[in-house]
Amino acid sequence: MPSVKVLTLSAAPETHGAVADILRQTWPGYYGPDGPGDAAADVAARSGGAGPPVGFVAMGPAPIGTVTVNTASFGVSDAGEGPWLMGLAVVPEARNAGVGSALVAAAEDHARQMRASCIYSTTRSAAGLLQRRGWAEQRDVTDRDGVVWQVYRKVL
């Protein structure tokens, strides 16, 4: 895959519909027709500017991934934890090509600009990517459905 360009959602309003579609495809139980989430509203909230939340979009010929940096997320155990990388999603045809890593790097850079000393994430599927980028597992958390997730942290 050619190099990936990562932009803030606020700098790329023309991508908002496609990013909402990526969220719906990645988490249909949450953003689908019967789910409680509103993908378009979440993209709009992540597009407000300096944030947080601040959303990012990875561009190929079209939007191929997204991630958000926010001050809170599922998995917080201490009011001092944050910022949080959340909503990391890459379209299936662009996976294993560096897109996720480019999005995580953008989130890490934004956290540094926020003068954060660490960044956190809660995941069930991106542990390998985070570990390759120097993140360390901190603890497990269980959601309201009994699903176990891992909380990761990276010192910046």
Residues 88 and 67: their CA atoms lie apart, in Å, by 4
Give the model's pLDDT for residue 21: 97
pLDDT digits (tens, 9 = 90+) for 8-36: 999 999 999 999 999 999 999 999 999 99
Nearest to 16 by CA among 46, 51, 43, 45: 43
Residues 6+ apart with CB under 8 A from 100: 65, 88, 90, 126, 129
Is residue 6 within 8 A of residue 58, CB to CB? The reply is yes
Q: 109 is in which domain, residue-wise?
A: 5-155
* pLDDT beyond 90 at 97: yes
pLDDT digits (tens, 9 = 90+) for 98-139: 999 999 999 999 999 999 999 999 999 999 999 999 999 999
Give the model's pLDDT for residue 74: 76
Helical segments of 27-80, H only: 28-31, 39-45
Give the model's pLDDT for residue 50: 66
Residues 139 and 94: their CA atoms lie apart, in Å, by 30
Number of domains making up the chain: 1
Give the model's pLDDT for residue 3: 76
CATH code of 33's domain: 3.40.630.30
> Residue 156 carries which DSSP code?
-
Per cent of the chain over pLDDT 90 is: 83
